[in-house]
Amino acid sequence: MIDIHPPQHGSITRRDFFIHLFIVVLGILIAIGLEQSVEYLHHHHLAAEARSALLAERGQNEIANDMNIFTTQRHQRDLQHDLGILHALRAHVPLPPGAFIVEHVRYLYLEDEWRRLHQSGTINYLTENLAPVDYRYQNQEAFMARSDRSKEDLYRAASVLRTEHDPLNTTFEKNMAFSNFTRRLAAAHENLPQQEIDAAWASLAEPANFSTLSPSQIDSLERALQSALADDDALLTYCYNIKRNLSRNPQQ
C-alpha cells in the first residue's frame, strides 16, 4: 500500500498570497518597462537618423532653390528678349541680336526623406515643431507643379516656330553636356564665367523660323510669353518663400 503524506507546508495565508501577487505584478511591470525602454531607445535612434537625413536633404534643396532663383530670373530675361523679337517682326524692323529661347531650366528639389518619414511613421517620433519644414516642402511642390504647367503651355505655343526642315539636333550627348554644366553651375553657386553661361544657354535656342509665322501666330506666341513671365513671378515667390524659411530656421 502506498502512503500518501500531506504537503509539509501550511496553508497559504492572505499575506503570502499578496506577496506572491506583488512579485508577479512587479515582474510584469519590469518586463513592460524594459520593453518600453528598448522601444523608446529604438524610436530615439530613428528620430536621430531622421533629423540627420532631413538636414542633408535640406542642404541639397537649398542649393536647388538658389539655382531655381537664378534660372527663373534668366528665363524672364530670355522671355523679354523673345518679346522684343516678336515686336520687331510685327514692326518689320531688324531683329535684335540673340537666340530665341523658351526653355526654362530647373533644378529638382529632393523630397525622398520627407516622404519616407511620413510613410514609415517615423515623423511621429520627432518632437520638435515641423511646421517650418512642412511649409518649405509645400512651396517646393507648388513650384514644381506651377513650373510643369507653365512649361507645357509655353512649349506648345512655341511649336509654331518649327518646320519640317528644321534639324533634329536633340541628342543624348547634348543633354549630358548641359546636365554637367548645370552641376558645375550649382557647385559654383551660379558664379561661372558669364561667357560659359551664355554659351550653354545658347544651346537651348529654338530653330525660330520666323518667316513662316502669320500675324495670328505671332499674337498667340506673344500671349504665351507674357503668361510665362507672369508664371515666373509666381515661381520666384515660391523660391523666396523657401529662401526666407531656410534663413529663419537654420537647424531644420
Question: What contacts 132, CB < 8 A, 6 or more positions away?
Answer: 245, 248, 249, 252
For position 41, what pLDDT does the model report? 55
Quick one: angle between helices 131-158 and 215-248, nearest 10?
A: 170
Q: Is the pLDDT of residue 192 over 90?
A: yes
- Mean per-residue pLDDT, 39-48: 68
For position 207, what pLDDT does the model report? 84
pLDDT digits (tens, 9 = 90+) for 7-38: 555 567 777 666 776 777 767 767 676 666 55
Percent of the chain with pLDDT over 90: 68
Tell me how far apart the alpha carbons of residues 100 and 160 are, in angstroms, rounded to a whole number: 13
For position 39, what pLDDT does the model report? 62
CB of 61 closer than 8 Å to CB of 140: yes
For position 145, what pLDDT does the model report? 97
pLDDT digits (tens, 9 = 90+) for 134-173: 999 999 999 999 999 999 999 999 999 888 888 777 889 9
For position 35, what pLDDT does the model report? 63
The pair phi, psi for residue 250, each rounded to 5°, is -65, -20
**175-207: burial string, b at 16+ Cβ within 10 Å, e else:** eeebeebeeebbeeeeeeeeeebeebbeebebe
Q: Quickly list H helices, the chain.
A: 14-91, 112-120, 131-158, 172-187, 194-202, 215-248
Tell which wins on pLDDT, 65 or 38.
Answer: 65
Tell me how far apart the alpha carbons of residues 29 and 86 are, in angstroms, rounded to a whole number: 80
pLDDT digits (tens, 9 = 90+) for 104-133: 999 999 999 999 999 988 888 888 899 999
For position 66, what pLDDT does the model report? 97
For position 36, what pLDDT does the model report? 65
Q: How far is CA 125 from CA 38, 114, 129, 245, in A?
A: 14, 14, 12, 23
The domains of the chain are located at: 62-110+129-248
